[in-house]
Each structure stands twice: as C-alpha cells, then as structure tokens.
Structure 1
Amino acid sequence: MLPAELTPFLGRRKEAPEVRRLLESSRLLTLTGPGGIGKTRLALHTARKRHRAFPGGVWYVDLSTLTDPSLLPQTVSAAMGLPDMSTTSRTETPIDYLAGRQGLLVLDNCEHLVDGCAHLARTLLRASEGLRILATSRQPLGLEGEQIFQVPPLTVPLEPSAGEPAEVLARYESVSLFVSRAQAVFPEFHLDADKCPSVARLCRDLEGIPLAIELAAVRMRSLSVEQIVARLDDRFKLLTIGHRGHDTRQTSLTAMVEWSYDLLDPLDRTLWARLTVFAGSFDLAAAEAVCCDDDLPAEELLDRLHSLVEKSIVIRDDDSTGVRYCMLDTLRQFGRGRLGESGELETVRARHRDWCGALASQATTGWAESEQRHWSRRLKSERHNIRAAIEYCLTTPNEAISGLHLAADLWPFWLVHAVSEGRCQVERLLAALPGGAEADAARVRGLWLAGWLAFYQGDLEATRLHGQESRALAERLGDDRSRAYATYVLGLSAVCDHDYPRARSLLSTARDHHEVTGDLPGRWLATADLAGVLGALGEIDAGVELCDSVIEQCARRGARWNQSYLLWILADLRRLQGDLDEATRLLKEILDINRDFEDPTVIGACLESLSWLATRRKDAGSVAWLLGAAHATWGKAGISLLGYATWGAEHDNACDYARESLGETAFEEAYQRGARMTPTATIDRILAKPTKALPREPRVRANTEELTPRELEIAELITEGLTNKKIAQRLIIAQRTAEGHVERILRKLGCTSRAQVAAWWTSRTAS
C-alpha cells in the first residue's frame, strides 16, 4: 500500500513522464540525488500514476529507520502484508508471494543499506519475471541492468527576473511549491509584484531543493519573505522547523545533510570538507592540488571523488574545458562548517589561493602562444574560484600582495571576460596593500592594470593618473615590464586626448620596452594601437604595413585573440582608405574568431565599425540594429570606447543618419531588436550566408503564414541567441517540447540552421 499524499504533488513536468517511461523499459530503476531533492515524492507519484499497470500489487517500503540489513527481507514481507514465516531464508516468503505476479516494489531510502538492498533486489528480480523495482537512494545500487535517473532540483527563475510578472514567475516549479506551501501556513500570502523579487531570490538561493523550499515556507508563520531571504546566509539555523510526525531528517536541513555525512567513511568526509573551498566548479587536477596531503594521499583522490559523486554529494558538471565537478551550495555550506571545525580551513584556503596563482601564471605564459583559446575558456570556467582566491587575499592579513600579483597575472582574463570586475578587484587590492618594498613590487603592477581597465570603461582621468603613478614607480624600482605596460596605458590616454604625436611616441616606446622584455602579447597590443595612431596622423599606408607584419607573426604562433585585435585596427584603417568591402571582410573574420573568445570589447567594436560602414552604404536599417547590438554588448560588460580617437564622432554620425532616414519610431524599434540579440546571435546573423530559404523568397513568405503564435515566439528567441534549453526555461516548457518547435520552424521555413531563422526573423520584422 502506498502512503497517502498529505500535500499536492507540484512540478516535475519534465521528470515525471521521463521516470514513467524509464519504468516501462527497466526492471530496476533507481532515482538518485542529494537529500531533500524530492526522490521519494517523485517515486510515490510515479507509483500512483502507474499502479494500474501492476495488477499483482504495488508495495512501498520505507527503509530510513532500518539499520540492520539482515532485516530487509522481513521488512519487505511486512510491507506486502505477509507473515514472517521463515527463520532460515528470509527471502523465501516474498519470493513465493511474487511468483507469477506483475508487481511494483518501491524501496525508499536505500543509501545506508546499499549492499543489502542490491542483494535483495537481485534475488527478487531473478525469482519473479513480472516484478519491477523502483528505488530511491543517494547512490546507485550498482546492479547489472540498473537504470539510473538523477533527480534534478526544481526549476528556478533565471537571473535577473525582476521584470517577470507574478503569473510568469509562478510557472517555475520552485516558486509554485513555495507559494503553495506558504499559503498552507499563512493563507493571506499571495504572490504579487512586490513579493516577486524576494520569492525569486529565495528560490534561486535555495537552488530549487524542494525540502529547503518547504522548510522556508513553514517560516512564513512568523517571518515575511524578505526576512527569510535576509537570513538565508545562515540557512542551517533558519530551516530547522517542520511538522510533527515527519521523519526528523525531513524537518531539519541540518539533519538531512548530516544523514548523508554520517554515511561516509572518514576520508570521504575529509574530501567533502576540503572541496568546499572551491567556488563554482573544479576539475580533478585542481582537487588534487588543493585537497591532497599526508592525511588524504593523491592516490586516494580519484576513488574518494568517485564515491562522493556516487553518493550525490558532488555532481559532475562538464563544460567546454572538460570534465568538471560541483556541489550544491547547501552541501558546500555544511562541509565548510566541518572544515572550520577541523581547524584546516585557513590551510586549505591558502592552498586554493596558491593553486589559483599557479593557474594565473600558466595562463600568462600560454597567452603568447596558440593556447589563447584554451586559457580564455579555462579562466572563464574558473571565474568563481578566482573571486574566492582574491577574497581570501583581501580578508586575510598580509595577503593583499599575493592577491595583487594574482590579479596582474590574470590581465588577459579581465580584458576578455570581466573588465568591470577586474578593475574593482584590483582597486580593492591596491587599497589593502601595506607599505614597504615588497608591496611596491605588487603596487606597480596593479596600477597599470587598473589604468588599463579604466580605459576600457571610458574613465580617462583614472587611466591617466594610474598610468603616470605606475610608470614613475616602475622607473624607481627598475621594473622594465611594468614600465612597458604603464607607458602603453599612457599612450592609450593620449589617443583619447587626440594628442596623436604624443601617443605615437608613447606607444613606440612601449613597443620597444616589450621587445626588450620579450613580452610578445604586450608588443602586439602596442603595435596595433600604434598603427591606429598612424592612421589618425594620415599615415594610413604605414599603419597598414605595420599591422600586416605583426598579424602574420600572430597567425604563425596561433595567437588568435591578438590577431583579432590587430585585424580590428586594420579594418579601421581600410575604412579610412575607403575600401569598405575589405573592411567588412576583416570585421567578419574578427567576429568569427570571437566565437571562441566571446570578447565583448572586440565584438562591440566590430558592430560599431560595421554600423559606420552601413552608414557609408546608406543602409539605415542595418545601422540601427547594429548600433543597438553594439550598445548592448558593451553596456552589459561595462565598456565604453567612444572616447578613443574619432570613434565618438563616427558613432554620432551613424546615429544621426539612421534616425533621420528611418524616423524616430522605426529607428527605436530596429535599435531595440539589435539590443535584444545576444552576441552569438548577432554574429550568426552577420556571418550567415544568403540562401533560398531566406524570407525574400516567395516560398518562404508563404510558409511563414503557417507558423503558429508559439512558433513565432520561439523564432524570436532563436534570434536572441537562446539555446533550446534556454528557450524551455524562458517559456516554462519541457526542453523536448522546445526542440520539437524548433524542428518544425526549420522545416516550415525551409531553413537548415538557426542562423537562417535569425536572418529571416530580423528581415521580417524590419520589413
């Protein structure tokens, strides 16, 4: 007999059908996941929905309070309503009973009895062909033929979600659960516009874990949503209230996690605690560097990490850089507490900082070679770990020096992925530096980096001041590398001041300094901007020749990011020469390169430049959406380069032309279409090759009438660059449903790629 549901089953719109499907094709299905994720509710819901398929019976066995595995057969017999008739072979009675029956056995909470449950399941399945077993466990049973389903958290609102109305927010499973449970204890609660931001934040912070959300909802008896959110940093104290009569593990978040912790052996517990110094995700090599010592030997790491993955403490979370792992924040907080209690917290945090420092040093070295793409992606993957290491340096006495060296080594990361954050972190570290010669060696590097990043933000006064201070300090210290970068930053400042002769002198000097120190990426950057200054001085051919010579060198070494930077300057020189076709070709080449780097500075600059070329071609529609896309790309990254040379004037000229040609309303519509597109979608549209499937063809215009309103909505989201997964999240539908819509759109339009759909949509809305 299945226990009655005391509260409605909510959510799991995607998982519930999938589990039912898997149960139809598998004799043993195990739902895995961390405690509180909803394995039991999903299993019971599945059993209720499928009970008619099992005329022989459906039996539920809760093993949470059972500690002796030898009593498993007896416990199953009792659940089936059978007497314990055997004293020698306790599996005999259920085997006899199940013979010839088509039944479903639900074994709940198997994690602390895995071996016993595996033995019992194997015995029963072999003895009864009509039996199926649905198990829940924090780790698989490990049987041949076992089908494993990892139960994910409930869907949570994407960030930012401030503008989503209540009816849209309520479609997220976590929000729906919270509202339902909150109204059960506080009937006056309603999700309105004022409460939406706090409810969305709560569900995100609790990571869609049903138990945590239900425990938070109980607090609505005495607290507002805003008060609950404010206390979530201490969630293990906050979420400790529940209902009498429930399993104690399900009424306290602490107890739920402690249950998992107590099931581990000592080395697994040690690894769990030490892994909590990682923020975001990590890979195997990082775990070994940070977590291993005499107490946890490196040769033990792989098996211990595998054990934590098996037990749903650690989650495999691959990305473009390879196999990575992560941990739910609730489990991380618990493990961090245990690490603090062990007295190892500061030691392991220091090792994490050292590992980040070594990674940054390797990245700086690799940036001069063909590894730029690898390091760009790798550092982006480690973004949260970089933040954690810098925070350690800021909050630990005498560590700001090492933090500033770490930040300076990471200059490629800041420039490509995090201009605003990089400047903020560097300036915090500069402010935290002590006095002394050792601090000055770090300060000189931080100053030129802060000035450089300020330039990308359009803060030219800070660029100038930081550059001057860094160069003076570099000369006093005899630091040639810092002198080169400080001089380069001052050269950029001079370009923005339109003092081109001074800019020429400074950038030439910086280039020579980089030559002496052997810093190829620095030399390539100084060369690019020097070529741009030559163009501003009217020496365009000389600038082109300078660019060409260095572009070839970058290409030989595989330094693609530097190559794209030089091509960007070269494209502008070609524009000044009046060769619009060549300038366009170069800008498209840069955009293609930046599919790998996703550098908003370079992408935004290319879009700006393309809008200027479209102005020359009298293509007002393209000018408007390109300007919108450029503004969005730079704006989201906190970048402003319109003070560079004459770029501001070119931008204003393009805006004025498009507004006058289109009219204010049409201009604003086209501009906003560009602003809504992601950089990836924008690049896809620009690089898409015209085909017969594009909307100018009569056949496609006829087919567009067949698109349903939902398909038109999804076509617009494709244009914005959303993946099928993101489309599903935005519209609160299953990913498989989104995939079906996309396939039908492609078929109806006669398109073969998402880029063609994007091009069709943009042309349709512009016409």
Structure 2
Amino acid sequence: MPGRTMLDALIEHLRTRRALVVLDNCEHLLGACAELADGLLRGCASLTILATSRAPLGVPGEITWRVPSMSLPAESQCEPIEVLRQSDAVSLFIDRAAQVRPDFAITAANARAVAQICHDLDGIPLAIELAAAWVRMLAPGQIAHALSDRFRLLTGGARTILPRHQTLQASIDWSHELLRDGERTLLRRLSVFAGGWTLDAAEQVCPGQGIDSHDVLNLLTGLVDKSLVNTDDQGPQTRYRLLQTVRQYAMARLTDADEVDDLRDCHLAYHLALAEAAATEVLGAGRDNPVLHTLATELPNLRAALEWAVATDPDAALRLVDALTMFWLFTGRYREGDAAYARSLDTAGEEPTSLRGRVLSGRAHLGVWSGAYEAAHEWAQAALKIGKACGDPWTQGRALNTLGLMAILGGRAGARTLLERSVQLATQAGDDWCQDAAALALAGAWIFQDEFDTARRVLDQAYTAATRLGYRRGLAWHWFSRGWEAIYRGRLDEARDSLARSVAASDEVGDPVTNGFANGFMAHVVLASGDIRFAYLLANTTLTRVLETGAGLALGIAHQMLGETEIALGEFPEAREHLATAVEAERRSGFVYMLSWHLAVLGTLERVDGKLDAAHCCAEEALEVAQQLGSGWMQANAERLLGRLALAGGQAAEAERYVHDALGRLAVKGFALDIPECLDVLAAIAATQESFQEAARLLGAAAAGRQRLGIVRFPPEPEFWASVELTTRKALGHDGYDAAFAAGTALRTDEAVAYVRRARGERKRPSHGWDSLTPTELEIVRHIAAGLTNRQIGQRMFISPGTVKTHLSHVFTKLGTSSRSHLAAEAIRHRLDASPATDAAER
C-alpha cells in the first residue's frame, strides 16, 4: 500500500479482529521480530502472538513458556517394555526407526539400549530422530555405544529440511553462532562441570581471560534465556546444568580454545575446598542437612575433580579422599570410597606421610563396614605404623579404633586395650568422632559377653556425646544396642521402639550397615511375635538393601533373618541357602558372635529337616565358638539345639543336661525370651521319662511365658508338640492334664525355673529305656561297647564277673535285648562308646 509500511498494513488488517499470529524461529531475527510484535500488540487490542524462539523476544506483556525435553523412562536400566513405550522419547525413537526399518520393534534384547540412547540424548527430538535413523545399519546397542562421539554419528537428516536441522552439529552450531562472545566463552567453560553447578561455583571457576566474576550472572542469564543452560530450583540454591549433548559440544570448544587444563585446575581447587570445608560438619549432619545434601548433589563434580587430581596432583587427590571419608562412611558409599582410595593411594606412591596415614586409616574403617576384612586389617596396621612414625595421634587413634573393632568382632583378647588407647589418642587429637566410635565399640565388647549392665553405662556416655555432637550414626548404634538388650530380656515393645529409633536415625544419614542390623533384629522380633509374612517381607527388603549398598558387615545378619522366616514358612531349601551364606559371610569377616548364632539357626533347620548329623556339626561348632567368646546367650542357643538332638536320638538324660545348662545361663542373666522354649523342651523330655505331671505343668508354664512375652513357638513344629501333648494327656487323662497344665500357667517365670529344677531332682528313674540305666549300668555298657569281657569289666570296676553278669541282665531287660553285639552297636549309636571321663571332657 503506497505510503504505508508493512507494519501499518498489518495493523489496519488486524485492528478489529480477534486473531492469533504465529512467528516461528525468531532467534536469528530477535530485534526485528520484537519490533514487529510490539507494534502489532500496541495497535491491535484483541491480538495474540505466539512466537517460537531459542530466546525471549523481550517485549512488554511477554509470557515465556519453555518447551521441555521429551519425557524419559524413570530408570534407563530397569523399566519394563510396556512402561518404556509410554515415554515420549522412546515412542519417537520407535516411530522414526520403523520408518527406515519397518520390522523394527522394541524387545527385551534391545529395550535397555533404546532407553539408554534416549537418556544420553536428553530427550532432544532432533537427536533422537537422527539416532533412530541408524537402525537400518546398526543395532540399538551399537548406536548407544557410538554416542560417545555423537556429533560424528548424528548426521543425515532429510535433504529437504533446513541445513541446521540435517545434523546435530549444525543445529547446535546455529545456536552457538547467535551468542555474544562472552556467552560463548562462558558456555565452553561451563562444560568443565559434571552434573551441574551453582552460581557461586561458576563465579569461582569460570572467570579470567575476558570474563570477570561480576559478569558471570548476566552471561549465565543470557545462556538460560537462549535455552542452552537449564535451571533446577528444587534445592536450597538454584542449580544450573548443560544437557549432555550441549556439554559435549561445549567441551570440544573448550579444547579448541586450549583452556581445558586451566579450567580443570580451577574446578579441582573449588571442589577440594568445598569438600574440606564440609568435612568438619558431616559428623553432626542428617540426611536433610545442607552439608550432606551439597556433597551428594556435587558427587559428579567431586568424581571429576578426583579424576583430574589423580592425573595431575596426587597430593590433592589424597586431600580430597581424606575430606570425603566421613561422608562415604555415614552414607554407606563404601564401594565408591574404596575405589577412590585405591586410585589416590596408587598415584601418590609409598612415601609414609601423615596424609597417607590418614587416608589409609579411613580406607581401613570403610573396609570393615563393607566386608573387606583382611585388607582392612592390613591398611589399619599400615596407618598405625605411619601415625607412630609421624607422631600423629589423629591417625593412630583412628587406626587403633579399627583394629580394636576388628578384635571385638573376632573375639580376640586385647580389644578393650586397643579401644581405650584409641580414646586417649583421639582425645589428644580432638577427634570427637573417634572418641565416640571407640566408646560404642567398647559397649559392643561388653554386649558380646552378655554384660549389658556394663555396656549400658558406656552406651549412655556415648549417647550424651553423640547428642551433643549431633552424631546421628552414633545415636543409631545406641538405640540398636538398647533394642538388642530388650530382645534378649523379652521386652519386645521396648525392642520395637528402640529399633525403630535406630532405623530412623540411620535413615537420616543413609547408613546401610546400622540400618541392616536394626531392621534385621526388627524382623527377628516380628517373627517371634508370630507375624511370619511381615517378618519375611522386612527381612527380604533388608537383604536387598544390604546387597545393593555393599554393606558387607550386615550381610550375615540379613541372610540369617531371611533364613529364619523361611524356616517358619517351611521353605527349607531357600532357608538353607541363606543360612549357609550367612555362615560363610562370618567366616570371612571373623565376626564370631554372629557366626555362632548363624550356626545355631542353620543347625535348627537341619534338625527340623531330619538331617541330624549336619545339625550336630552346626551345634557343636556353635557351642565351641560361643565358649571361646564367653557369651552365655550364644552357648544357650547351641545347648538347646544339642538338647533337641539328644532327645531325637533317644538320649533323654543327655538332652536334659544340655537344656538345663541353657536354662541356667538364661535365668541368671534375665534373658527371658528363650526361657519358654527351654521349658517346652524339658516338658518333652519329662514325657519320655514318664514324668507326665511334670510335663503337663511345664507345657502350661511355657504357654503362659509365651503369652506374657507376646511370642510364639519357633520353629512351629505343630506335629511334634501335638504328639507330646497327646502322650501326656493320655497318661494323665483329660482332667488330670488340664489341672496340671493350669497349675503351670499360674507360675511366674522364676517360679517355673525353680519348679523344673526341683522336679529334676525328685523325678523317679523310668522303668525302661536308656534313661532307666543306673550309672553303674551305663559304665558296664561303655565297656561292652569297647569289646571287654565280663572278667575284664570286673577288673576295671573292681567287682566280680558274676556281679557284672547280674547288672548286664538288668540292662538287657530294660533295653529289650539279649544280644551283646546288638547292645554294643546301640551304645555306639548313642555315643556311649567312650569312657566316662572322655565323654565328660567332650561335653
């Protein structure tokens, strides 16, 4: 229109209309598009403009909506195929792949590779389309592998589209050329960050040669506006990140500018300072604490910094891993920590510096919790040697702490001395963590010998210190230990409360070892209470987490508790696998307390499953280990099992001796939880000895004890106990049985224990069977089994051959046999072929 501009004509046409105007791809003409949009909006009251651009137009009234990347699978390695297909990025890949290869389909074989491709390409549509086009020549796995050089691979777009959309390189080149010089410089320098950064980090790392620290915010804002930098406002600070594709492009530009070394040096210096500043605060930090959150968020950068330090500055590498020791320990990052220690120590050489000693002591302590026991002992010894040579009490204290802890686990002498010296050195060095950790380990030493009263005093002191320091991991161990005692004493409500506190405190820092023990013991409580299914679920979840995190010290207890629940469910093959794994885990660790417990539970499984020889082996080893350790509770475990095995072999007197020994150990310490089982077994023994009144009363006392404690029989064995009750009821009659049973239920625990001890002394010898034999008759049987004649037996026992013959006739009558050879064979089967002295020594 003559004399009028294009803008005037458009305004005239649209002035009275309600219309939508679309301006597409404005980024290369931002100024002109902004002027056009502003003029149209001023002249047309009912006009709406939709503009697409890689940067805002910057006109009044503009509302910016960022087009997000396409949706991705939640987990690139774990999603099922049906869920993967629901992802926008995967759906686009499948659609474009089918265009070049019609028979393409996502399958179990290629699903993980397709998901990885979409993740690696950040859900960028152009990149995914270009990658999918390669399925005509390459399998998805090959494409995923080739993305390490994605700009070479992702080419070949349609010839009919704009050149900048034909290759990934051209697309990003287009955006890069639209940047100002300062923005280009900052973009390439930001590629040094892995996983994102804060404004402070960018201002510290990126200035120099053309960029002042005060310019960073404005330049960064420009990169965000142009969609080359993404923001994340979820945490306490806004974080920024580059899509991996953009980062790879920018890193290439950084290399071209010959700035890589300088930028990585700055990056290392910044993150080393961050880690060292955080190290002093980790002790009192919880999961939501800014320190732990910061370190967890910065892990990609810390890993990148360590990689550069290992390559260029070994001393900085040692400083960095030393600063991260407590973070790795408290949050259960054992595998990552050990790999970092190994790389930094290998690079630093063998010079025995104080710094090397600190790093070795940290590696040793992590090694104990992760299960690398032999290596941990070597590292701790090496750290102690260096600490002494350098006069460093800090390193010595921590090394002795680890050595003392391992000595406790192994039941070795001198553990307390090591830990007490550790406390002295830690106090001298001002190492609060080491003081508290050594105190907790000392409490463990008392617990392993059933000295809970002494342990509680130590725990209370450690609790006070941990509370003052905010040391949540220490609080978790305190509550776990209190729950442990409560279980033994049968106070299950208290145990649940203490263990729940331990789980909560360990969850606050993400500590998988303490969590594994606390949840494992919680499963034990739940199983004892009779909720088998929930106990199984809890034990299974606990084992899964222990395996996922590499929490090796908790591996045995996690396998045992799952095995226990499987015994209760009757799943014996699965239980045997888990319990055998638990035993082997402790053989590696040398954790003898848990080894004895695992063996006793495995032996119980073998007994219930009818494998009595295997059960005997487990029980005898469990008893030997418990005796070496000095734990009465563990000895009682093994003795109850040996009592059940003796009863199964027809040796009621032997069974009674074992179970009375176990009962005595439990009663003297007040360990109420397992007393009902002892009373039950003694009832079964009494029934075999025809002391039916005693049997019924003990069954009643055991039932009442279980009711008071809120527990059930373990293992259930309903057929066995029904048989004991039926035999006893038949002998007494219904009224007699019910009266005796009721009398037993009226007994308190201490009264029941006193009763069974009296009954044992008052009980008449049965009229037949092995338990009917007198001590003299038993000795004669032993000599018969040894192949002696009546004359030889008389000479050994200082009695006449005729007296031997008379005793032997009584034995034949009581046992229902008349054959000397059969008697000898039965004696051997009942393990009566040894002399009394030898037999007693073996027991």
TM-score of the two chains, using structure 1 as the length reference: 0.71
Residues 1:164 and 1:276: Cα distance change in structure 2 (over 3 Å)? same
Asked if 2 retains the 8 angstrom alpha-carbon contact of 1:321 and 1:378, the reply is: no
Letter in 1 for 2:323: D
Among 105, 109, 115, the alignment partner of 1:200 is 115
Is 1:293 matched up with 2:208?
A: yes
Is 1:626 matched up with 2:538?
A: yes
Asked if 2 retains the 8 angstrom alpha-carbon contact of 1:370 and 1:557, the reply is: no
Which string of whole-angstrom CA distances, capped at 9 and with x for unpartnered residues, describes residues 720-753 of structure 1?
A: xxxxxxxxxxxxxxxxxxxxxxxxxxxxxxxxxx
Which string of whole-angstrom CA distances, capped at 9 and with x for unpartnered residues, describes residues 243-273 of structure 1?
A: 1121111111111112221122122112111
Aligned-residue CA RMSD in angstroms?
A: 2.5
Residues 1:329 and 1:544: Cα distance change in structure 2 (over 3 Å)? same
SS at match of 2:6: coil
- 1:320-331 aligned at under 5 Å gives the runs 320-331=235-246
Among 477, 492, 503, the alignment partner of 2:415 is 503
Among 418, 425, 430, the alignment partner of 1:518 is 430
Which string of whole-angstrom CA distances, capped at 9 and with x for unpartnered residues, describes residues 205-256 of structure 1?
A: 1111110011112223433323222211111111122111211111111111
Q: Which residue of 1 aligns with 2:549?
A: 637
Which string of whole-angstrom CA distances, capped at 9 and with x for unpartnered residues, describes residues 666-715 of structure 1?
A: 999xx9xxxxxxxxxxxxxxxxxxxxxxxxxxxxxxxxxxxxxxxxxxxx
Q: Which residue of 2 aligns with 1:318?
A: 233
Letter in 1 for 2:293: R
- 1:555-574 aligned at under 5 Å gives the runs 555-574=467-486
Shift of 1:548: 1.6
- Provide the C-alpha distance between the structure 1 equivalents of 2:426 and 2:488, rounded to a whole number of angstroms: 28
Letter in 2 for 1:450: R
- 1:92-111 aligned at under 5 Å gives the runs 92-111=8-27
Shift of 1:335: 1.0
- Provide the C-alpha distance between the structure 2 equivalents of 1:86 and 1:178, rounded to a whole number of angstroms: 52
For structure 1, the residue ranges without an aligned partner over 5 or more in a row are 1-84, 672-767
- Provide the C-alpha distance between the structure 1 equivalents of 2:3 and 2:98, rounded to a whole number of angstroms: 51
Asked if 1 retains the 8 angstrom alpha-carbon contact of 2:420 and 2:438, the reply is: yes
SS at match of 1:150: coil
Greater helix share, 1 or 2?
2
Is 1:613 matched up with 2:525?
A: yes
- Provide the C-alpha distance between the structure 1 equivalents of 2:402 and 2:458, rounded to a whole number of angstroms: 20
- Provide the C-alpha distance between the structure 1 equivalents of 2:571 and 2:64, rounded to a whole number of angstroms: 57
Asked if 1 retains the 8 angstrom alpha-carbon contact of 2:546 and 2:554, the reply is: no
Q: Which residue of 1 aligns with 2:367?
A: 454
Shift of 1:528: 1.5
Shift of 1:87: 5.8
Shift of 1:160: 4.6
Q: Which residue of 2 aligns with 1:410?
A: 324
Residues 1:117 and 1:605: Cα distance change in structure 2 (over 3 Å)? farther
Which string of whole-angstrom CA distances, capped at 9 and with x for unpartnered residues, describes residues 90-126 of structure 1?
A: 3111111112223222111122333332332222123
SS at match of 1:134: strand
Q: Which residue of 2 aligns with 1:387?
A: 303
- Provide the C-alpha distance between the structure 1 equivalents of 2:409 and 2:208, rounded to a whole number of angstroms: 52
SS at match of 2:499: helix
Percent of residue pairs bearing the same amino acid type: 33
Is 1:445 matched up with 2:358?
A: yes
Q: Which residue of 2 aligns with 1:223?
A: 138
Among 550, 561, 571, the alignment partner of 1:664 is 571
Among 63, 72, 85, the alignment partner of 1:170 is 85
Is 1:158 matched up with 2:74?
A: yes
Asked if 1 retains the 8 angstrom alpha-carbon contact of 2:436 and 2:462, the reply is: yes
Asked if 1 retains the 8 angstrom alpha-carbon contact of 2:520 and 2:561, the reply is: no
- Provide the C-alpha distance between the structure 1 equivalents of 2:491 and 2:279, rounded to a whole number of angstroms: 36
- Provide the C-alpha distance between the structure 2 equivalents of 1:570 and 1:275, rounded to a whole number of angstroms: 51
Q: Which piece of structure 1 moves more, 523-532 or 114-123?
A: 114-123
Asked if 2 retains the 8 angstrom alpha-carbon contact of 1:313 and 1:327, the reply is: yes
Q: Which residue of 2 aligns with 1:581?
A: 493
Q: Which residue of 1 aligns with 2:198?
A: 283
- Provide the C-alpha distance between the structure 2 equivalents of 1:163 and 1:272, rounded to a whole number of angstroms: 34
Letter in 1 for 2:322: A
Residues 1:431 and 1:630: Cα distance change in structure 2 (over 3 Å)? same
- 1:66-215 aligned at under 5 Å gives the runs 85=1, 89-161=5-77, 164-165=80-81, 167-215=82-130
Which string of whole-angstrom CA distances, capped at 9 and with x for unpartnered residues, describes residues 315-339 of structure 1?
A: 1113434321111011111111111
Among 272, 294, 314, the alignment partner of 1:400 is 314
- Provide the C-alpha distance between the structure 2 equivalents of 1:208 and 1:374, rounded to a whole number of angstroms: 30
Shift of 1:88: 5.5
- 1:209-358 aligned at under 5 Å gives the runs 209-293=124-208, 295-358=210-273
SS at match of 1:601: helix
SS at match of 2:106: coil
Asked if 2 retains the 8 angstrom alpha-carbon contact of 1:540 and 1:577, the reply is: no
Q: Which residue of 1 aligns with 2:709?
A: none
Residues 1:608 and 1:321: Cα distance change in structure 2 (over 3 Å)? farther
- 1:734-749 aligned at under 5 Å gives the runs none
Asked if 1 retains the 8 angstrom alpha-carbon contact of 2:416 and 2:442, the reply is: yes
Asked if 2 retains the 8 angstrom alpha-carbon contact of 1:281 and 1:317, the reply is: no
> How many residues get paired?
574
The structure with the largest alpha-carbon Rg is 2
- Provide the C-alpha distance between the structure 2 equivalents of 1:250 and 1:450, rounded to a whole number of angstroms: 51
Q: Which residue of 2 aligns with 1:752?
A: none
Which string of whole-angstrom CA distances, capped at 9 and with x for unpartnered residues, describes residues 45-94 of structure 1?
A: xxxxxxxxxxxxxxxxxxxxxxxxxxxxxxxxxxxxxxxx3565331111
Letter in 2 for 1:622: F
Shift of 1:292: 2.3
- Provide the C-alpha distance between the structure 1 equivalents of 2:339 and 2:424, rounded to a whole number of angstroms: 30
- Provide the C-alpha distance between the structure 2 equivalents of 1:478 and 1:86, rounded to a whole number of angstroms: 95
Is 1:553 matched up with 2:448?
A: no
Asked if 1 retains the 8 angstrom alpha-carbon contact of 2:519 and 2:538, the reply is: yes
Residues 1:595 and 1:536: Cα distance change in structure 2 (over 3 Å)? closer
- Provide the C-alpha distance between the structure 2 equivalents of 1:87 and 1:222, rounded to a whole number of angstroms: 60
Residues 1:526 and 1:417: Cα distance change in structure 2 (over 3 Å)? same
Asked if 2 retains the 8 angstrom alpha-carbon contact of 1:621 and 1:667, the reply is: no
Residues 1:657 and 1:198: Cα distance change in structure 2 (over 3 Å)? closer
